[in-house]
Structure 1
Amino acid sequence: MKKFLVPLMALLSLTGQAQRPQGPTDRNITLTGTIVDRDTGTPLEYATFVLQKADDPSVVTGGITDLEGKFSVETTPGIYNIRAEYISYTTYTQDNQRYIRSTDLGVIRLGLNVEELEAVEVVGERTTVEVRLDKKIYNIGKDITTSGGTVSDALNNVPSVAVDVEGNISLRGNENVRILINGRPSALAGFGSTDALQQLPAEAIEKVEVITSPSARYDAEGTAGILNIILKREKTLGFNGSVNTFIGYPTNSGLTANVNLRSDKFNLFNTTGFRYRDAPGNAFFDNTYTSGSFDRIIEDRDTKRLNRSFNTNLGLEYFFTERSSLTGSFFWRFSRDRDLTENATQRFDQAVLQSRTLREEDQEEDDKSYQFSLNYRNNFNDEGHELTADLQYSIDGETSVALIEERNTLPDDRLLALENVDQTQDQKEFLFQADYVLPIGEAQFEAGLRSNLEQQITDYRLDSLDQASGNLVINEQLTNIFTFDQNVHAVYTQYGNKLGKFSFLTGLRLEYTQLKGKVDTEFDLSELEDLLGEDVDLNFDKDFVGLFPTVNLIYELTDTENISLGYNRRINRPRSWFINPFPSRSSRTNIFQGNPDLDPAFANAFDLGYLKRWDKLTLTSSVYYQLESGAFERVQEPTGETTTDGIEIVRSIPINLSTNQRYGAEAAVLYNPTRWLRINSSFNFFRFVTEGEFNGVDYGAENNSWFARFSSKVTLPAKIDWQTNAFYQGPNQNAQTKTEGIFSVNLAFSKDIMKDNGTILFNVSDLFNSRKRRSFTQTDFFTSDSEFQWRVRTITFSFIYRFNEAKKRNGRGRQGGDYDEEGGEFSG
C-alpha cells in the first residue's frame, strides 16, 4: 500500500521540512514548469518537484503537479539542487542551479524505471478512480470475476451502474444511458442496443468513464448520463500483448487476444475475440383475465440460447511528429445465434383445467457489423493546445428467421398456430466530429461540432397458417417495411478555469434533431391510424432545436477533500423500435407496438457531490435530482381482439407521460487496509414520481428503490487471489408492475504462474443461481405473476498468457501512478 502513497508522502515530507524564506515578499521568486511522460507526452499528475538549498541540504521546499502536470513553487533567490520525481519513473536531477528571478523551467520529461516497475506491479491489479469536473473515471484493474466474461459483466462491477437479468444497463436506476466507445457512438456498442456489449470481451476494456453531469463536449443524448468505454491500446515500444482462453459450464468457451506493435513512427494494435456460448434461461407466468374464454393461464418457459461470435478491431496510428498523428481502424463483428424456446401452457376456467398447449419457437439470427474510423490529433504544445477530428462510418445488418409452432397437448394434439417470422434490419451511421482546445493561461477554451446521420430499415414479414386451407399465407396486417432516419447536428463551446481552490467548467451546446419515418405496406394504413389515434402521422418528418447548457463546479476544501456541483440539460430521443407503428409479438397473446407520435423527452439534472480521501480509504458521494418532461413509459392495454382459441390479446405501447421526477443519493467507499485485503462497496438510493395519463387511464406512480454492491479481494497464501462480488437490486414499482429485489454473488480465484507471465483463474457467476426477476403486474383487465431468469449459474476456467508485457500493464500502463485528480484506489 505504501508504494501507492509515495506522491502523498513526498508532499507531506516537503511540507514538514520546508522552511519559509525570510524577508520581504518582493524578494521571493516563483519557479514553474510541466512534468510529462517522456515517450507519450502525457502530463503526470501528483508528480513532485523538489528544491534543496545547495549550501544547506536541510532546507527543502517544493510542490506537486496538478491535473495538467504543472507545478508552481515559491522560494527565495539562490543556488538549488532540483529534482522531479514520480512513482515508477526515473528521477530527474539538476545540481547547483542558480535562480535569481522567477523562471519557467519548461517541460521536464521523465522516463520509466523498469526495475521500480517490478516493485509496484500490484498497481495493475487494482482499479483506480479519478474525479474530474464532469465525470468519474474507473481504470479497470485485475477483476478476476469477469475473466472470460463480457463488457456487460464488467460494467456490472462499476459503481452507479447496474445491469439487469436481460443485459439492460442503467445508471443510477435510469435505463436511458448513452453508451459510447472511445468517446463516440459505435458499432461496438450495438448502435444504442446492449446486445453487442454481451459479445465483446471484458479484457478489452482499459477504463470506464461514468459521466453523470456531461460537459457540452458530449452529445446531449441520454437523460441518465453517459458511459464512455475506453478500450486498451498499449503505449510501450516493441511487440507485446496477451492471450486469454476460457472454458465453462454451461457451454462457454472462447479466446481473446490483445496485441500491439509500437515504434517511434507507428503503433499497430489489434483485439480479436471468439466466443461459443450456450446460455440457458427460463421463465414462469401466472396470468388471470377478466374476459375471454379462460380466466387463468399458466406458462412455463425454457430457453436455450446458442451464441457464436467473432470480432476483431485492427488499427494503425502513424506519428507525423511527436505531437501529431493519424489513426485508422477497422472493426468487424459477426455473430450467429440460435434460440430455442419451449413454452408449456395450462388454461383454466373456474379452476378447472381446460387445455394444455406447447409452443415451440426456433429462431436463428445472423448479425454483421463493420466500422471504419479515422482520427487526426495534433497537440500543438505541452500546455494542452489541441485539435482533433474524427470520421466514422458504420454498417450493421441483422437477419432473423423464426419458426413458431403451437399445438394442444390436452385434450387433443390439434395444431393451433404455425407462423414464420422473417425480419431484416439494416442500419448505417455516419459521424463527423471536430474538437479544438485552446489554453489561455490557467483557463481553457474549447469548441467543436458534430454531425451524426443514422438510417435504419426494418423489413418485417409474418406468414401465418390458414386453418381452412392448411397453407402459410402472408399476414398483411403485420408485414411491412419501416424506414427510420435520425439526423443530429451540433455545435458547442465551453470555458473552464481554476481560481485558487475553485474550479469551474461552463458550456453551451446547440443541437438540431430530425426524425423521419416512412411506412411501406400492403395493409390499409387508415385502420392502423385508427388504432393509434386520429392525430398520428405514420409517415412523419419532425425536427427539434434544443439548447443544452452545462455548469460544473468544484471547490477544494483541502488537498484531500472537495465538493462539486453540476447542472446539465439532456434529451432522450426515441429509437426506431419505439416508433415503428407495426405490431410485433413475442407470443400470440402479447404484442408490442411502436408509437410514431412519440417525441423526444427533455430533462434538467442537478448533482451535488462530496469526496474525502484518507490514508487508506476514499469516500465519494453525491445527491442528485432530475426533472424530465415527456418521459417515456410503456403501458399495457387490451386490444379488444382474441386468438382463435379465445385468449385476449394485450398490447404494450410506449407513450410520452407528462413528468418524471427522480431524487437520489449514492456513496462509494474504497478501502485498502493492507496489501492482502482490498474492499469496496457502494450504495445508491433513488425515488421517482411519475405523473400522466393515456386513453383516460391515470398512470401516475411513486416508487422508492435502491441497489448496493460489495467487493472484497484477499491475497491468500501461495499468492492466490480470492475475490467476491455481491450485488443487490432493491424492489421497484411503476404504474402497473411491482418487481422484487434481486441478490447475486460472483466468486473467483486466481494464481499467477510462469514467472507472472501467466495466470490461471476459476470463477462462478451467480453463485446461488438467484439472479431472477420476480414481478407482479395488475391492470383493470388482467394480472400477471412472473419469474424470469435470463442465464443460469455459470462456471468458468481461464488462462491468460502475457508476452513482453509486465502484469501491472493490465492497469494504467504508461499513463501514470495510482492517484489521479482527487482520486483513490479502487479494488477491482
Structure 2
Amino acid sequence: MHKFLIVLLFFFSLTTTFSQSSVNVTGQLREANTLENLAFANVTVQNSTDNSMVTGAITDDNGRFEILGLPTGKYTLLFSFIGYETVEKPLIAGGLNSVFDLGQIALQPSAEQLNEVQVVGQEATTNSDLNKKSFNLDNTIAQAGGSVLDAMKTMPGVTFDQDGKVVLRGSDKVVVLIDGKQSSLTGFGNQKGLANIPASNIEKIEIINNPSAKYDANGFAGIVNIIYKKETQKGLNGDVGLSFGLGALGKRRPDTPTDLGSFSVNPKLIPSLNLNYRKGKLNYFLQSEFIVQEALPNNEFTTRNYDDGRNIVSQVPENRKQFRSIINGGIDYNLDDNNSFTLSGLYDRERHIDTSQVAFIDLNTNTRNRFYTWEEEEVTRYINAAVSYLHSFEQPGHTFSANAQYTQGLEDETYSLNDSSVVRVGRDKTNIRAIENTTSISSDYVKPLSNGRLELGAKLRIRRLPVDYTITPGNESIIYPGLGSFSDWGENLYAGYVNYLLEKEFYDIEAGLRAEQTDVFYDLDPANTYYPNNDKYDYFELFPSARFTYKLNEHNKISAFYNRRIDRPGEPELRVFPKYDDPELLKVGNPYLRPQFTDAFEVAHKYSWNSGSLFSAVYHRIIQDQYMRIFSIDDSNPNYDIVNRIYQNTGRATNTGLELLASQDITQNWSLSSTVNWYSNAIDQYEGAVLFPFVRPFTIEASTANAWNAKFTSELSLPKEFTFQLTGVYYSDKNIPQGKELARSSVDLGIKKNLWNKKAELTFSATDIFNRFGIRQEVRNEGFTATYQNYFETQLLRLGFKYKI
C-alpha cells in the first residue's frame, strides 16, 4: 500500500486563551489520473497512539467531506475507495487553526482491487454532473469498432450536420479537445476529422456545456473533451485490438446512371495498440491506430427546380479509398514528489483518393445533359510536440503547471475535373496546399483556500496558415477566373483568467473572468477580383462566467450558470477558393466573416436514487452576429446556373431548449438510459449582400425552428460473460435557414463477449439497421427550390477483438 506523508502546517498557541479545543477538517477526493470527483468514498480518523477509530465521514457527490468537532490531538486520516489504493495522512489538530482544509487528495487505482471491481459490476456509461457529463467508451458496445463520431451518436444533446460536424444542443459551434488541450487531430477552434479518429484508444468523452473562465472562450455550444487511455499500474500493460467492418450495405436510393455509381459493401480494417510501461520515476505511453478502408463519406443527391420550369437532378458520390495512421506517445518523468514533466508527441498522416462520376439529368426529358467526373487526391499530415511541467506545493491541491505546444499541419489537395456536355468538353485541375503552424504557451495556478480554491492562468497562441492555390484551366474552364494564387491567414491570441470557487456544506459558488486580446489578418493575392481589400482587425473582450449550485438534500441539487463566449471563424470558413466536387453547387468561404458572441444562461437539476438518476436542464443563449452557410444563386453563366453555399454573418439569433437525461437499473443485469433534447432556434430578419462572384442581395426571413431528438440505450448482461446493447436515435424535422431538414432515425445493436477471465473481449456491432439515418433537406430561395439528400455510409457491420496485455 502506497502511503503519502504530507505534514500540515500548524501553529501552537503559547497560551490556552487562544487555543482551540476542537477543529473542523475538510477536503476533496479525486481520481489521480482523470481528476474525477470520488463520491461516496470513506474517510476514517484514527488515533495515532493506538490506531483506534475516532470518527469518519463519506464524501458527497462532489467528492468533498467535512469532519466537525474533532478534539485536539494527533491523528491518522485514512482515505479509501473500492478499486483504489488507500491513502494515509497524519494530522495534528490544535493550536490557532480551527479549520484544516486538506485540499484535493488523489487516489491511485489499485491493480488487485480493480480486478475485484470488474467482477462486482460495470462502470456506469454516463456519469451525469451539473456542469459536465462523462461517457465511458468501453460501454458503447453498439458502436464498438467505430470512430469517435460513431461513439458520440447516442450522447445527450449531440447530433450531426451534413458536413459531419458535431451539433450540440442545436449548434455546431463546438470546441473539441484532446486530453483537455486543443490539438491538430480535431482542429483549433473549428471541428474536423472526428469521423476518422478510431475510438479504440479513447477512454471516455466529456461534454461540458457551461465551461468556466479557465477554458478558452471559443465554442458557444460547449466543449467536447476526448480523453485517451493512460494506464496507471506498474510494469507493462495495455491492450492490442483489431476491428474489421463492412459499410454501405444497402442503397437508400438507386444511383443515377453512371459506370461507377456509389461504393457499397466497403471493407474496413482498423488495428490498434495501447501500451504503457511504468517503472520508478518514469512512465512511457504509446497509442497507435491505423485505418485501411473504402468508404462513402458523402453521397449527395440534389434536385433543383428552377422557376423557369427546368428540373435537374444530380448525384455526387464521394467514393473513397483511405489509409490513415495516428501515433501518439510520450514520457512522464516524476523528478520528485513535487515536480513532474511530460514530453509527448503525435504524428497523424492520412492519404485518400476520392472518385466520382456525376450525371446531370433533365427530369422533364429524362435525358443526361451533362456528365462530370472528378478525382481528388488529398494528403494531410499533422505533427504535435508538447512539454508539460507540474509543481505540487506542500499543501494538497496547491499546484502550478506550464505547457508549451507546437503543431504543424499540412493539407495538400488536388482535384482533376473532367466535363462532358453539349456546351463544353474540357479538363481542369486545381491544387490547394496549406501549411498551418501553431505555437501555444500556457500556465495555470491553483491555490486551495479554507472553503474553496483560487485559479489563475495565462495563455499565448500564435497561428499562421498560408494557402497556395494553383489552377490548370482547360477548354472553357469552369473555374472562376480572378481568384488569385495565394492567401495568408494569421491569428494572435493573448489571454488571462481568474476563477474563484467557494464550497460550503449546502452550496457552491464559482465565478470567473477571462480576458482575451485577438489580432487577426487575412491577406489575399492582389489578383483576386472578388475581394479587393485585405482584412485585418483586432479586439479585446471580457468573458465572465458564474455558477451557483445548491444542495437541496442528499438526493437533489440544482445549479444556475451564466457564461459569455465567442466563435471565431477559422481559415476553412474564410477560404476564398471554392470546392468543385459539384460544379453547379459550390462550397466557398468568406474572408470578411466576423466572430459571433454569445451570452448563455442555464438552470440544471439532478435527482439521484440508489438505482438511477434524472438530470434536467433549461438553457437560453443569445447570439450576436451569427454566421452560417447560405444558398445564393449565380445565374451569370449562360449555359447553367450555379448555386453557391457561402458563409455569411446573419445578425441576431437565440437558442432555447430543454434537456432530460434519465438512467435506471431495472435489475442487477439490465439497465436503461434515455435522453430527450428539445430546442428552438430563432433567427431575426436580416438583409445583407453576397460579394462572390458578384454583389447581390440576400434576405434571411425571421423564423423559429423547433426541433427535438430522443435517444435510448438498453444494456443487458447475459450468462457466460455476454453483454447485449440496443440503442435508438431519432431526430425530428427542423427548420434551417432558407428551408427545412426532415426527420431521420437509427437503430444500432452490439454484443460483447469477455474471454479468458476478462483478459480479452470480442465485439460485434451493427449500426443503422434499417438504413434511415441519411440527411434530407428542402431549400427555397429566389429563383429556385432544391431537395438535398445525403445518403452517406451509415449502415455498417463490425467485428472487433481486443486483448489486454
Q: Normalization by structure 1: what TM-score?
A: 0.84
By how many angstroms is 1:158 displaced? 2.3
Aligned to 1:822: none
Which has the higher relative contact order, 1 or 2, with Cα contacts under 8 A spaced 6 or more apart?
1
**TM alignment of 1:506-517, pairs within 5 A:** 506-517=511-522
Aligned to 2:439: 430
**TM alignment of 1:601-616, pairs within 5 A:** 601-616=596-611
Asked whether 1:285 is paired with 2:302, we answer yes
Please point out which of 259, 265, 269 is paired with 2:285. 269
Aligned to 1:657: 650
AA matched with 2:334: F
Deviates more, 1:189-198 or 1:568-577: 189-198
Aligned to 1:453: 462
More helix by share: 1
Please point out which of 355, 358, 361 is paired with 1:340. 355
Please point out which of 302, 311, 318 is paired with 2:333. 318
Q: Is the 8 A contact 2:185 2:192 kept in 1?
A: no
Aligned to 1:304: 319
Q: Is the 8 A contact 2:29 2:59 kept in 1?
A: no
Please point out which of 440, 443, 450 is paired with 1:441. 450
Q: Secondary structure in 1 aligned to 2:720?
A: helix
Q: Is the 8 A contact 1:278 1:305 kept in 2?
A: yes
Asked whether 1:178 is paired with 2:175, we answer yes
Asked whether 1:504 is paired with 2:498, we answer no
Q: Which runs of 5+ in 1 are unaligned?
A: 1-25, 530-536, 804-828
Structure 2 distance, partners of 1:497, 1:474, is 60
Structure 2 distance, partners of 1:479, 1:302, is 29
Relative to structure 1, is the Cα distance of residues 80 and 479 closer, same or farther in structure 2, using a 3 angstrom cutoff? closer
Q: Which runs of 5+ in 2 are unaligned?
A: 1-18, 247-265, 689-696
Q: Secondary structure in 2 aligned to 1:642?
A: coil
Aligned to 1:693: 687
Q: Is the 8 A contact 1:329 1:373 kept in 2?
A: yes
Q: Normalization by structure 2: what TM-score?
A: 0.87
Asked whether 1:153 is paired with 2:128, we answer no
Q: Is the 8 A contact 1:435 1:447 kept in 2?
A: yes
Aligned to 2:760: 758
Structure 2 distance, partners of 1:237, 1:742, is 47
By how many angstroms is 1:712 displaced? 1.2
Q: Secondary structure in 1 aligned to 2:312?
A: strand
Structure 1 distance, partners of 2:145, 2:348, is 18
Q: Is the 8 A contact 1:124 1:142 kept in 2?
A: no
Q: Secondary structure in 2 aligned to 1:618?
A: strand
AA matched with 1:62: G
Aligned to 2:554: 559
Structure 2 distance, partners of 1:255, 1:204, is 11
**TM alignment of 1:106-121, pairs within 5 A:** 115-121=112-118
Relative to structure 1, is the Cα distance of residues 693 and 112 closer, same or farther in structure 2, using a 3 angstrom cutoff? closer
Relative to structure 1, is the Cα distance of residues 138 and 223 closer, same or farther in structure 2, using a 3 angstrom cutoff? same
By how many angstroms is 1:352 displaced? 3.0
Q: Secondary structure in 2 aligned to 1:352?
A: coil
Q: Is the 8 A contact 1:133 1:552 kept in 2?
A: no
By how many angstroms is 1:34 displaced? 5.4
Relative to structure 1, is the Cα distance of residues 69 and 316 closer, same or farther in structure 2, using a 3 angstrom cutoff? farther
Aligned to 1:818: none
Aligned to 2:263: none
Structure 1 distance, partners of 2:128, 2:510, is 14
By how many angstroms is 1:344 displaced? 1.9
By how many angstroms is 1:437 displaced? 0.9
Percent of residue pairs bearing the same amino acid type:
26
Relative to structure 1, is the Cα distance of residues 69 and 624 closer, same or farther in structure 2, using a 3 angstrom cutoff? closer
By how many angstroms is 1:219 displaced? 0.7
Structure 2 distance, partners of 1:681, 1:433, is 39
Structure 2 distance, partners of 1:774, 1:296, is 18
Structure 2 distance, partners of 1:265, 1:741, is 55
By how many angstroms is 1:75 displaced? 5.7
By how many angstroms is 1:340 displaced? 1.2
Q: Aligned pairs, how many?
A: 751
Q: Secondary structure in 1 aligned to 2:226?
A: strand
AA matched with 1:448: G
Structure 2 distance, partners of 1:132, 1:723, is 24
Relative to structure 1, is the Cα distance of residues 722 and 421 closer, same or farther in structure 2, using a 3 angstrom cutoff? same
Structure 2 distance, partners of 1:406, 1:198, is 31
| CA shift digits 1:514-539 (9 cap, x unpaired) | 1101112545x3xx14xxxxxxx631
Structure 2 distance, partners of 1:766, 1:543, is 46
**TM alignment of 1:3-402, pairs within 5 A:** 29-30=22-23, 32=25, 44-50=38-44, 62-65=56-59, 67=62, 70-74=65-69, 84-89=79-84, 115-121=112-118, 125-130=122-127, 134-164=131-161, 166-249=163-246, 250-280=266-296, 281-291=298-308, 295-348=310-363, 351-353=364-366, 355-402=368-415
Structure 2 distance, partners of 1:82, 1:584, is 64
Structure 2 distance, partners of 1:106, 1:571, is 37
Q: Is the 8 A contact 1:389 1:433 kept in 2?
A: yes
AA matched with 1:421: T
Structure 2 distance, partners of 1:795, 1:271, is 25
By how many angstroms is 1:115 displaced? 4.9
By how many angstroms is 1:40 displaced? 7.3
Structure 2 distance, partners of 1:27, 1:392, is 49
Aligned to 2:429: 420
AA matched with 1:49: V
Structure 2 distance, partners of 1:709, 1:93, is 44
By how many angstroms is 1:267 displaced? 0.9
Structure 2 distance, partners of 1:168, 1:455, is 23
By how many angstroms is 1:94 displaced? 12
Relative to structure 1, is the Cα distance of residues 307 and 79 closer, same or farther in structure 2, using a 3 angstrom cutoff? closer
Structure 1 distance, partners of 2:413, 2:580, is 14
Deviates more, 1:778-787 or 1:328-337: 778-787
Relative to structure 1, is the Cα distance of residues 150 and 79 closer, same or farther in structure 2, using a 3 angstrom cutoff? closer
Q: Secondary structure in 2 aligned to 1:117?
A: helix
Q: Secondary structure in 1 aligned to 2:155?
A: coil
Q: Is the 8 A contact 2:301 2:316 kept in 1?
A: yes
| CA shift digits 1:710-764 (9 cap, x unpaired) | 1111112322111112111121112312110110122111111122111111111
Relative to structure 1, is the Cα distance of residues 176 and 27 closer, same or farther in structure 2, using a 3 angstrom cutoff? closer
| CA shift digits 1:267-295 (9 cap, x unpaired) | 1101011111111353322211125xx71
| CA shift digits 1:317-340 (9 cap, x unpaired) | 111112321101110011111111
Relative to structure 1, is the Cα distance of residues 771 and 563 closer, same or farther in structure 2, using a 3 angstrom cutoff? same
Aligned to 1:407: 420
Structure 2 distance, partners of 1:726, 1:521, is 53
Please point out which of 518, 521, 526 is paired with 2:523. 518
Q: Is the 8 A contact 1:400 1:423 kept in 2?
A: yes
Q: Secondary structure in 1 aligned to 2:666?
A: strand
Deviates more, 1:773-782 or 1:729-738: 729-738
Relative to structure 1, is the Cα distance of residues 504 and 81 closer, same or farther in structure 2, using a 3 angstrom cutoff? closer
| CA shift digits 1:343-380 (9 cap, x unpaired) | 222125xx334544332111111111101001111121
Q: Secondary structure in 2 aligned to 1:514?
A: strand
Structure 1 distance, partners of 2:572, 2:631, is 16
By how many angstroms is 1:73 displaced? 3.9
Aligned to 2:625: 630
Structure 2 distance, partners of 1:584, 1:677, is 49
Q: Is the 8 A contact 2:478 2:583 kept in 1?
A: no
Aligned to 2:743: 741
Q: Secondary structure in 2 aligned to 1:375?
A: strand
AA matched with 2:738: Q
Q: Is the 8 A contact 2:101 2:451 kept in 1?
A: no
Q: Is the 8 A contact 2:313 2:361 kept in 1?
A: yes
Structure 2 distance, partners of 1:89, 1:615, is 22
Asked whether 1:673 is paired with 2:663, we answer no
Deviates more, 1:44-53 or 1:537-546: 44-53
| CA shift digits 1:284-307 (9 cap, x unpaired) | 22211125xx71101134331122
